[in-house]
Amino acid sequence: MNKKVLWTTGYAFLNIAYFAAFCTVHACAAVFLMARGFTNTQVGILLATANITSALFQPFIADVIDKKGWLTNRRFILISCMVILAGSLLLRFISDNKAVIFIIYALIYMIQFAYQPVMTALCFEYQKKGCGIVYGLARGLGSAGFAVTSAFIGRAVEVSGADLLPTVTAIIMAVSLVAVFFYKPSDNAASEGDSESGAITEKAHSRITDFFRTYPAFMLFVLATICFFFAHNMINDFMIQIIRHLGGGETELGYSNFLQAILELPVMALIGFVLRKVSPAKLLVFSGAAFFVKILILIFAQNMVWMFVSQSFQLFAYAVFIPAGAYYVSHTMAENDQVKGQAYVTSAITIGGVFSNLISGVILDNLGMSPMLITGTVVCFVGVLISFAALKSPARKGESAL
């Protein structure tokens, strides 16, 4: 088998497993927690706590990995899989202690977010060693894994109950653990193919002020990302409430998640071809506009048809943003800043989730659905304006604008 196909297949499998578990942990968080007696506000507080911790944890871990010590991308992923596996097994058997459930679920949620940028960095690390991974295709298949899981898990939960969720997560993490353990390049991997990273080698910028001073457009990109994912997380974390408001239930939740995830596959698979014509920065602005339209539609939605129309904009929003953001970091940042760059993007996504979790649940409980969605739409529009400003700024200090 062609070695490029082999490495891409292996990385695709890691992504499929990761995003299948992402579905059971993140997309179904409200379903599981509300089944254990949590209110909307309590769900928001738990997810905000997990997101804040993750946002602080990710750059720290990235800096440690960038220093090329014992902790590598692969080893951190292995540790993360073990923690999520253990936590999921505990959740399966703890049903009446909300404080313990809060701590364990927040830990699982945080760790799974924390190793997402490390998964991306692993790809570009292996590319540099000559492993020839096609990132967009592998990441798109990860979204397909999320889609397939979503298609079945909603109905399965309706039939078997929310206790099924940690069981499925534990099984997926066990498989991931084995897969990651065996997925590593040999010592002579550098001769196996061509690197796609194109990273620049120079002194690492460990301090956040130095980092943003070196990459001025990146700071604006981070701010815009927070705004985009405020809206994105508002929809995802409280999707079951939005769907119930429109007359659906857990089955429709599964279908909705399936639709938006399966649409990501063709876009991510072809993003490499698009990037030959359009810069990552311009694609990021385009995706931000799609995030805005996606949530705007929900303000006026009257039934599930419009929910599905809204989810279809995932094709231009999240599906474009994730690979474009990864390539933007890979092609504009020094080699020793690569993991930190990916981590800052994921931290921005996480911080957007923090503000969304803190605000959305409270608005939903006290004011209702429409005020919550209007708030998300306004914040997302601000992100679009900021992203236009980022497009006009230099990617690196001393360079011309993007």
Coil, helix or strand for 401? strand
pLDDT per residue of the chain (402 residues) written in tens, 0 to 9? 577 788 889 999 999 999 999 989 988 888 899 888 888 788 888 888 887 888 788 878 877 777 777 888 889 999 999 999 999 999 988 878 889 999 999 999 999 888 888 888 888 788 888 888 888 888 888 888 887 887 788 778 878 888 899 999 999 999 999 999 988 876 554 444 444 444 444 555 556 677 777 788 888 888 999 999 999 988 887 888 888 888 888 778 878 877 877 787 788 878 878 888 888 888 889 999 999 999 999 998 888 888 889 988 988 998 899 888 888 887 777 777 777 887 888 888 888 877 887 788 888 888 888 899 999 999 999 999 998 887 776 665 545 444
> In the prediction, which pLDDT does 155 show?
78
> In the prediction, which pLDDT does 102 show?
94
Q: Rounded to whole angstroms, how far apart are CA atoms 55 and 98?
A: 24
Are 310 and 301 in contact by the 8 Å Cβ rule? The answer is yes
Q: Which residues of 78-94 are buried (b: 16+ CB within 10 A; e: fewer)?
A: bebbebbbebbbbbeee
Q: Which residues of 300-314 are buried (b: 16+ CB within 10 A; e: fewer)?
A: ebeeeeebeebbebb
Could you tell me the residue range of the domain that residue 95 belongs to?
A: 3-183+205-391
For residue 82, the Cα-to-chain-centroid distance in whole angstroms is 20
Q: Which residues of 241-267 are buried (b: 16+ CB within 10 A; e: fewer)?
A: bbbebbebebbbbbbbbbbbbbbbbeb
Going by the DSSP 8-state scheme, the letter that residue 334 receives in this structure is: B
> In the prediction, which pLDDT does 194 show?
40
Are 68 and 340 in contact by the 8 Å Cβ rule? The answer is no
Q: What is the pTM of this model?
A: 0.72
Are 113 and 304 in contact by the 8 Å Cβ rule? The answer is no
Q: To which residue do tokens 């997560």 refer?
A: 169
Task: Tell me, yes or no, whether 41 lies in a domain.
Answer: yes
> In the prediction, which pLDDT does 201 show?
45
**Distances in Å between the alpha carbon of 129 and those of 71, 182, 270, 274?**
18, 17, 23, 25
- How is residue 182 written in tokens? 């065996």
Task: Tell me, yes or no, whether 254 lies in a domain.
Answer: yes
For residue 327, the one-letter residue type is Y
Are 237 and 353 in contact by the 8 Å Cβ rule? The answer is yes
> In the prediction, which pLDDT does 207 show?
66
Task: Tell me, yes or no, whether 191 lies in a domain.
Answer: no
Task: Tell me, yes or no, whether 188 lies in a domain.
Answer: no
Task: Tell me, yes or no, whether 197 lies in a domain.
Answer: no
| Number of Cα atoms under 13 Å in the Cβ half of residue 72 | 11
Task: Tell me, yes or no, whether 383 lies in a domain.
Answer: yes
Q: Rounded to whole angstroms, how far apart are CA atoms 263 and 290?
A: 14
Other Cβ atoms closer than 10 A to 400? 8
**376-379: Cβ within 8 A, 24+ apart:** 376/230, 376/231, 376/234, 376/235, 376/295, 377/231, 377/292, 377/295, 377/296, 377/299, 379/227, 379/230, 379/231, 379/355
Task: Tell me, yes or no, whether 102 lies in a domain.
Answer: yes
> In the prediction, which pLDDT does 190 show?
44
Domain count, the chain: 1
Q: Where are the alpha helices (DSSP H) in 129-191?
A: 135-160, 164-182
Q: 113 Cβ partners below 8 Å, 6+ apart?
A: 26, 50, 51, 54, 58, 346, 350
Q: Rounded to whole angstroms, how far apart are CA atoms 402 and 219?
A: 13
Coil, helix or strand for 200? strand
CATH code of 262's domain:
1.20.1250.20
Task: Tell me, yes or no, whether 271 lies in a domain.
Answer: yes
- How is residue 64 written in tokens? 């440690």
Coil, helix or strand for 272? helix
